Amino acid sequence: MRVSDVAAAETVTAEAFHALEAAPGAPRTPARRPATRAERWQRRAEHLLRHDPGGCWVAEVDDHVVGVALSLRREGLWGLSSYGVVPRLQGAGIGKALLEAAIGHGAGCLRGIIASSHDPLAARRYRAAGFTLHPAMRLAGEVDRAVLPVVDGVREGSAGDVDLCDSVDRQVRGAGHGPDHELLLTRSSLLVCDQLTGSGYCFVEADGTPALLAATSQRVASRLLWEALARSQDGVAISFGGVTAEQEWAVDIGLAAGLAVHNEGYVCLRHMRPPAPYLPSAHFL
Ligand SMILES: CC(C)(COP(=O)(O)OP(=O)(O)OC[C@H]1O[C@@H](n2cnc3c(N)ncnc32)[C@H](O)[C@@H]1OP(=O)(O)O)[C@@H](O)C(=O)NCCC(=O)NCCS
């Protein structure tokens, strides 16, 4: 993949996910992401092309991009950040070739992580590549502000906390996120809890959605998640996925906050147990 492929690759993934989400028989809506989300996808792709050029691949037919796989490698951990094939060419082997190329970027990494959609074609590919499929939940809805507890010990983080975040990552999932923390800082705010008894961090979207959370204890993780939920606004629904059964602490907080629990996709892992307490980033894992 080259930088000049980024816009076309974004369109491919928008079409692939649009077809996956469209309910059978539903009226056809344009297969485009809102401009801000498309822009975010493109910045992420450019970031990965800079840091993981060998992990980013496109498939072409007649000089048109028809498939894409973006992957990253961080301290011995390989992860898949984006993966899609245009709907009319799915099921014909393009995805298999793309995934093999992307996994090649992780040569020498035993451990791997993917936040998978519920697409049976994707699940088939990941299992064939040796990943264990851990069924995941999504918590969604409006936070009941009346039940928000008073949280202490959590402060606003900054670029100066990136080393702390990496060190929590290493303890919880065996590898830091390195440069991905810097990109996340440009699109979300950072909450940090650093105490004698444990440390952790959480990136929070402007609407209160926790985008990535890691902590060395459930106590710290719970404080961070409550503080993230407190940032949500009245009348605005939030949602976060990639929640496996190991994150019961998060399921309990979500339910207590009035969110609904849905079953959605898998956290796919190779040569590692589900990190905990941990809420993965969909794209930086
Ligand atoms: C996931 C995706 C990238 C795979 O690409 P692809 O080109 O369709 O993949 P392939 O054709 O190489 O492999 C699909 C597998 O599913 C099988 N398959 C085809 N139709 C199927 C169906 N209806 N049900 C189940 N399996 C099916 C194929 O036979 C193939 O398996 P095999 O190689 O063991 O025979 C693509 O389907 C896609 O874009 N999905 C929507 C977006 C998405 O969910 N992306 C994953 C993000 S985590």
Query: How far is CA 271 from each of CA 104, 111, 129, 247, rounded to the nearest angstrom?
Result: 16, 5, 12, 19
- Mean pLDDT for the stretch of residues 248-270: 98
Residues 212 and 227: their CA atoms lie apart, in Å, by 13
CA 128 / ligand 1 centre spacing (Å): 11
Contact 233, 100 (CB under 8 A): no
Which of helix, strand or coil describes residue 52? coil
**Over 80: is that where the pLDDT of 8 sits?**
yes
Distance in Å, CA 276 to ligand 1 centroid = 30
Best residue among 121, 267, 281 to mutate for probing ligand 1, ranked by most atoms within 8 Å of CB: 121
Region 84-99: mean pLDDT is 97
Instruction: Using the mean position of ligand 1's atoms as its centre, give its distance from the Cα of residue 159 in Å.
Output: 39
Residue 82 near ligand 1, beta carbon < 6 Å: no
- Identify the band that residue 22 occupies on the pLDDT scale cut at 50, 70 and 90: confident
pLDDT at 78 over 70: yes
Pairwise CA distance, residues 126 & 228, whole Å: 31
In the predicted structure, residue 257 carries a pLDDT above the cut 90:
yes
| 90 pocket-lining for ligand 1 (C-beta < 6 Å) | yes
**Is the pLDDT score of 27 beyond 90?**
no
> Which pLDDT score, from 0 to 100, does residue 28 have?
62
